[in-house]
Chain A
Amino acid sequence: MKAFTYERATSVEAAARAAASVQGARFIAGGTNLLDLMKLQIETPTHLIDVNHLGLDRIEETPDGGLRIGALVRNTDLAADRRVRRDYAVLSRALLAGASGQLRNKATTGGNLLQRTRCPYFYDTRMPCNKRQPGSGCGALQGMSRSLAILGVSDACIAQHPSDMAVAMRLLDSAVDTMDANGARRSIPIADFHLLPGDTPQQETVLKPGEIITSVTLPRPIGGTHVYRKVRDRASYAFALVSVAAVFGKDGTARFAFGGIGAKPWRVEAADAAAGRGAKAVAEAALAGARTTHHNDFKKMLVERTLASVYRQREARA
């Protein structure tokens, strides 16, 4: 690990200011992704700003009946929160399908959204990777791409977004609340938060330098039957090959979001509109424009089958 200096921020404003003014500074929350990458020298911050003590660890009700989740709320606490279990079960389920008990005790809401890809070439510093080293090429395009994305990809990068939580957040139309170095706050719809790789796969979100996530806000509950189905190589403790988050309304409508297949948490209106026509139709709509490799072509079939399983789960509970 490269040498760095460390500070414990004492206020959100001070944290954002410090992050914008010190070249190479980064926030550290749970540390479960950042430190992993720092050990491999994929991330080499010169200064770490610890944001664990800023009072951002609360879950509060919003005036319009939603929930504001502090950026430092741990994945375990969010999944176990009574209101989340009752009104946003798909979020509890997505969180509990991710990582391990130990990791969820540390991992935070903000850090989870910003976790970086699990592309094996991104992790291997001997290989070319446009995301890790812009302009060096993409090792995955001609390599082992079984786990990688098939939607939203580009000639520069086909990395998948690895988060389970973010898929449920996308499904629920949450918003990412931030503060920048000047103390200005904004609320970013999650649909606009993550960027597609295009020619600049190193740019993953719309956050500006120094901008800190303060919370993620969920709109008021939408009711319905909540399902999160994750398909992976092991029964537990593995990243998704394909995951589907779904909420089925009583009126026959439904919404779907997908993990493991997109360069960002994936959701398209056409898939929701196809809800009444079943798994095959939803899969077809969701997969419009999919670009697969020899290794990950199977994901298209897996999306349809996972959706079929989601429909069955819904029927079993209705």
Chain B
Amino acid sequence: MPTDHVTRRGMLQGGAALAAAPAILSQAQAAAPRTGKGAPMIPVELTVNGREVHVPVDPRTSLLDMLREHLHLTGTKKGCDHGQCGACTVIVEGRRINSCLTLAVMHDGERVTTIEGLGTPDRLHPMQKAFIVHDGYQCGYCTPGQICSAVAVLEEIEAGIPSHVTADLDDVAVNEAELRERMSGNICRCAAYPNIIAAMRDVAGEKQA
């Protein structure tokens, strides 16, 4: 494979990593070779954490980059950027998804909830509180994704959605095996897993009471 290909890719990757400001993104876009019709900015309207936002984006912008770079909601984290780690998990139209593997333009008109929308430092969501009580994190980088996922997992169980470890597909309940399986899309490098499960069981217990 020609080395010029590798170099060009390396440059683009470096460029993408540096492109914190939208201004740089649009410069990169202007410099990009245009084969077809080119890619004009597209206006996107979303409700993020209850607030309506209007943002013009390059069609390439992932929902994750839009949240972080355009709306400065940096609670949602970029880990692998390939759907493998779960750090970017947010809740869209009531469902948890990897915000790195979806385009902002695909969510025009939809409702997004990020960690900032679940609770605030003085009004914590019960799951946030439980993560603190049970020490559900160490470095904290994966935590926003873990918490968004954990909140959605309990709702999925309540809705009767089965999982890989559900013995009888029609009998879905909260238990340790279920929570571990359902949280497998959220990797924690500090391995805070037992405490995350403890936090979730705590919240699930409160709900059932």
Across the interface, which residues of A come within 8 angstroms of B106, CB to CB?
28, 31, 50, 52
Q: Does B123 contact A (CB under 8 A)?
A: no
State in angstroms the CA–CA spacing of A186 and B131 once bound together. Answer: 52
Bitwise interface map of B from 159 to 184 toward A, beta carbon under 8 Å scored 1, else 0: 11111101001100000000011101
Q: Does A298 contact B (CB under 8 A)?
A: no
Across the interface, which residues of A come within 8 angstroms of B16, CB to CB?
1
In the complex, the answer to whether A106 meets B98 with C-beta atoms within 8 Å is yes
In the complex, the answer to whether A106 meets B36 with C-beta atoms within 8 Å is no
Q: Does B1 contact A (CB under 8 A)?
A: yes
Interface residue tally for chain B (C-beta within 8 Å): 54
With A6-B103, A28-B106, A236-B181 as known contacts, state yes or no: A80 contacts B161, CB within 8 Å.
Answer: yes
Q: Which of A8, A89, A102 interacts with B86 by CB under 8 Å?
A: A102
State in angstroms the CA–CA spacing of A255 and B156 once bound together. Answer: 32
With A76-B161, A96-B164, A105-B95 as known contacts, state yes or no: A236 contacts B184, CB within 8 Å.
Answer: yes
Q: Which of B5, B34, B97 interacts with A106 by CB under 8 Å?
A: B97
Across the interface, which residues of A come within 8 angstroms of B180, CB to CB?
236
In the complex, the answer to whether B102 meets A35 with C-beta atoms within 8 Å is yes
Across the interface, which residues of A come within 8 angstroms of B189, CB to CB?
none
State in angstroms the CA–CA spacing of A48 and B102 once bound together. Answer: 13
Q: Does B101 contact A (CB under 8 A)?
A: yes
Across the interface, which residues of A come within 8 angstroms of B42, CB to CB?
6
Q: Does A46 contact B (CB under 8 A)?
A: yes
In the complex, the answer to whether B1 meets A5 with C-beta atoms within 8 Å is no
Across the interface, which residues of B come within 8 angstroms of A32, CB to CB?
83, 98, 101-102
Across the interface, which residues of B come within 8 angstroms of A235, CB to CB?
181, 184
With A2-B32, A3-B39 as known contacts, state yes or no: A102 contacts B161, CB within 8 Å.
Answer: no
Q: Does B128 contact A (CB under 8 A)?
A: no
- A87-128 contacts to B (CB < 8 Å): 89, 92-93, 96-97, 99-103, 105-106, 125-128
Across the interface, which residues of A come within 8 angstroms of B32, CB to CB?
2-3
In the complex, the answer to whether A4 meets B62 with C-beta atoms within 8 Å is no
In the complex, the answer to whether A103 meets B185 with C-beta atoms within 8 Å is yes
- A230-270 contacts to B (CB < 8 Å): 234-237
Across the interface, which residues of A come within 8 angstroms of B186, CB to CB?
100
State in angstroms the CA–CA spacing of A93 and B168 once bound together. Answer: 11
State in angstroms the CA–CA spacing of A127 and B6 once bound together. Answer: 11
Interface residue tally for chain A (C-beta within 8 Å): 50
Bitwise interface map of B from 1 to 34 toward A, beta carbon under 8 Å scored 1, else 0: 1000110010000001000000000000100111
In the complex, the answer to whether B60 meets A4 with C-beta atoms within 8 Å is yes
- B22-54 contacts to A (CB < 8 Å): 29, 32-40, 42
With A3-B38, A79-B162 as known contacts, state yes or no: A100 contacts B86, CB within 8 Å.
Answer: yes
Bitwise interface map of B from 77 to 115 toward A, beta carbon under 8 Å scored 1, else 0: 000011100100100000111100111011010000000
In the complex, the answer to whether A99 meets B185 with C-beta atoms within 8 Å is yes
Across the interface, which residues of B come within 8 angstroms of A6, CB to CB?
39, 42, 59, 103, 105
State in angstroms the CA–CA spacing of A285 and B51 once bound together. Answer: 60
Within the complex, the shortest CB–CB distance from B141 to chain A, in Å, comes to: 17
Q: Which of B82, B152, B185 interacts with A237 by CB under 8 Å?
A: B185
With A4-B59, A35-B101 as known contacts, state yes or no: A103 contacts B83, CB within 8 Å.
Answer: yes
Across the interface, which residues of A come within 8 angstroms of B36, CB to CB?
4-5, 22-24, 46-47
Across the interface, which residues of B come within 8 angstroms of A2, CB to CB?
32
Across the interface, which residues of A come within 8 angstroms of B105, CB to CB?
6, 50
Q: Does B143 contact A (CB under 8 A)?
A: no
- B174-207 contacts to A (CB < 8 Å): 180-182, 184-186
With A3-B60, A47-B36 as known contacts, state yes or no: A96 contacts B98, CB within 8 Å.
Answer: no
Q: Which of B103, B152, B159 interacts with A35 by CB under 8 Å?
A: B103
In the complex, the answer to whether B149 meets A102 with C-beta atoms within 8 Å is yes
Within the complex, the shortest CB–CB distance from B35 to chain A, in Å, comes to: 5
In order of increasing CB-CB distance, the 5 nearest A-B pairs are: A100-B185, A236-B184, A46-B36, A6-B59, A237-B184
Task: Report 10 cross-chain contacts, Cβ distance below 8 Å, ordered by A residue.
Answer: A5-B39, A6-B59, A85-B170, A92-B162, A96-B164, A101-B153, A102-B185, A103-B83, A103-B185, A237-B185
